[in-house]
C-alpha cells in the first residue's frame, strides 16, 4: 500500500513539474515594457547573444540584397544559408526557456525563410521572387521589433 502512495505522489509531482515547465516554455520570462511592448527579461550575456543573432540576420539581409543587385545568385544563396536554421541550432535550452513561444516561433520562421531563400537562389529562382520572400521575412522582423524588447534583468 505504501508503494502505491509513493508512486502516486511521484506521478503527481512529475505531472506538476511538467505543467510548470510547459507554462514557462510557452510564457517565457516576460514583463510589461515601458513602451507597452512585451519585455523579455534575460541576463545581459543572453541579451547580447540574441542581439548578435539579429545583427547577423541584418547582415545576411544586406548580403542577399547585394547579391541580387549584382545578379549573383550564388552569393544570395550563401548569405541566406548563413542565417538559416543552421544558425539557430546551438541555442542554449535555458535561454530558449526564457523566450516566449510567439517570439521563438517568429524567430524560427525567419531562419526557415532564409533556408527557403537559399534554396530558391540555388534553384535559379528569379530575383523578384526572392525579393518577395525577403519582404515577407522582413515583415516578421518588423513585427517582432514592434511587439518585443529585450531587457537585461538583475543578475
In the chain, how many domains are there? 1
Tell me which residue range forms the domain holding 46.
2-152
Mean model confidence pLDDT for the chain: 88
At 138, is the pLDDT very low, low, confident or very high (cuts 50, 70, 90)? very high
Q: What is the pLDDT of residues 40-70, one digit of tens each?
A: 999 999 999 999 999 999 999 999 999 999 9
Spatial distance between the Cα atoms of 120 and 3, rounded to a whole number of angstroms:
60
Q: What percent of the chain has pLDDT over 70?
A: 83
Q: What is the pLDDT, as a whole number, of residue 17?
A: 62
Report the CATH number at residue 83.
Answer: 1.20.120
CB atoms within 10 A of CB 140: 15
Q: Taking Cα atoms as reference points, which of 50, 3, 13 lies closest to residue 29? A: 50
Pairing relationship of beta strands 38-42 and 30-32 according to DSSP bridges: antiparallel
pTM for this one?
A: 0.81
Beta-carbon contacts of 138 under 8 Å, excluding residues fewer than 6 positions away, are 61
Amino acid at each position: 500500500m505504501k508503494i502505491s502512495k509513493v508512486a502516486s505522489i511521484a506521478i503527481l509531482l512529475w505531472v506538476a513539474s511538467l505543467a510548470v515547465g510547459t507554462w514557462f516554455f510557452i510564457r517565457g520570462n516576460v514583463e510589461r515594457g515601458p513602451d507597452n511592448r512585451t519585455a523579455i527579461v534575460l541576463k545581459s550575456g543572453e541579451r547580447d547573444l540574441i542581439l548578435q543573432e539579429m545583427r547577423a540576420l541584418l547582415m545576411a539581409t544586406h548580403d542577399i540584397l547585394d547579391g541580387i543587385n549584382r545578379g549573383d545568385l550564388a552569393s544570395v544563396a550563401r548569405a541566406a544559408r548563413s542565417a538559416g536554421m543552421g544558425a539557430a541550432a546551438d541555442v542554449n535550452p535555458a535561454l530558449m526557456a526564457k523566450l516566449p513561444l510567439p517570439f521563438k516561433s517568429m524567430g524560427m520562421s525567419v531562419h526557415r525563410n532564409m533556408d527557403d531563400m537559399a534554396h530558391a537562389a540555388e534553384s535559379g529562382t528569379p530575383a523578384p521572387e526572392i525579393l518577395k520572400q525577403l519582404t515577407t521575412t522582413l515583415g516578421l522582423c518588423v513585427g517582432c521589433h514592434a511587439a518585443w524588447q529585450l531587457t537585461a534583468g538583475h543578475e
